[in-house]
A and B are shown apart, each in its own frame.
Chain A
Amino acid sequence: QVTLKESGPGMLQPSKTLSLTCSFSGFSLSTSGMVVSWIRQPSGKSLEWLAAIDWDGDKYYNPSLKSRLTVSKDTSNTQVFLKITSVDIADTATYYCARSPYGGYYFDYWGQGVMVTVSS
């Protein structure tokens, strides 16, 4: 059974660095073809893909945010991390991690999401 779960600080101040963790089970990111992405959704708005990391450690970023994003994974291949530097109010959103299956350019499993509020 594939599950993903995001965790984060809940609230942080503008200009700080947001650190998010995606913990997953039911698959390993060391399996060829697997990809885990981060996607966010401001309340009442659409979805925005942020970054992805694949089984080989290759990283992919949304060019609009690339300078502020760092995606990484742990050595056990059961967690993926995302750091967003210099956050501001516009980064307030629900952040999801999601899995792309082998050869798939889509998301077959999603986490429940974690709400992050940027406020002074």
Chain B
Amino acid sequence: EIVLTQSPTTTAASPGEKVTITCLASSSVSNMYWYQQKSGASPKLLIYSTSSLASGVPDRFSGSGSGTSYSLTINTMEAEDAATYYCQQWSSNPLTFGSGTKLEIK
């Protein structure tokens, strides 16, 4: 099983600040996917195939990476971006998710 380790576990950012969340895979994966989950809601797809923006997602979100290291970047933090973010891989079975990064607004 591929283990996805996210960092940081928790972070806070001021409006306008740049935020980067990292996801390290225990083995190489071909692509990474990112979700945003707000309290009490279902996860929402943000990024697919490492760097493609899902429909309706603001372009302040971006994804990059390869092999075992991937990242999600929010270019300019907004209050509505406060949420928990998860990475996900399905390069090998079973599909796995990262442990999550909780992002708070300062």
Chain A positions near chain B (C-beta within 8 angstroms)? 37, 46-49, 52, 60-64, 96, 104-108, 110-113
Given known contacts A110-B43, A111-B42, A104 and B94 CB-to-CB distance under 8 angstroms = no
Q: How far is the CA of A49 from the CA of B93 in the complex (A)?
A: 10
Interface residues contributed by chain B, number (CB under 8 Å): 24
- With contact pairs A46-B99, A46-B100 given, residues A106 and B48 touching in the complex (Cβ less than 8 Å): yes
Q: Across the interface, do B43 and A106 meet the contact criterion of CB distance under 8 Å?
A: no
Contacts of A106 in B (CB 8 A): 33, 45, 48-49, 88, 90
Residue among A37, A96, A110, A111 having the largest count of chain B Cβ atoms under 10 Å = A110
Q: A105-B31, A112-B42, A113-B42 are in contact. Are A46 and B93 (CB under 8 A)?
A: no
B66 shortest CB reach to chain A, Å:
16
Q: When the two chains form their complex, are residues B86 and A47 in contact, meaning their CB atoms are under 8 A apart?
A: yes
Partner of B97, one of A49, A105, A112, A113: A49
Would A64 and B100 count as touching, CB distance under 8 A?
A: no
Q: Is the CB of B33 within 8 A of A105?
A: yes
Does B74 interact with chain A (Cβ within 8 Å)? no
Chain B residue nearest to A112 (CB atoms) is: B42
Tell me, rounded to whole Å, the shortest Cβ–Cβ distance linking B2 to chain A. 12
**In the complex, which residue of chain B has the Cβ closest to the Cβ of A100?**
B90
Partner of B98, one of A46, A52, A108: A46
Chain B 41-59 against A: per-residue CB contact (8 Å), 1 yes, 0 no?
0111100110000100000
Inter-chain contact B42/A110, CB cutoff 8 Å? yes
- Tell me whether A108 and B43 are in contact in the complex, defined as CB-CB below 8 angstroms, given that A46-B98, A46-B99 are known contacts: no
Chain A residue with the shortest CB-CB distance to B54: A108
- How far apart are B80's CB and chain A's nearest CB, in angstroms? 19
The answer to the question of B12 belonging to the interface, with a C-beta cut-off of 8 Å to chain A, is: no
Other CB < 8 Å A-B pairs besides A61-B94, A106-B45, 4 of them?
A: A105-B31, A105-B89, A106-B88, A108-B48
Give the contacts of B54-106 with A (CB-CB under 8 A): 54, 86, 88-91, 93-100
Question: Residue of A at shortest CB range from B97?
Answer: A47
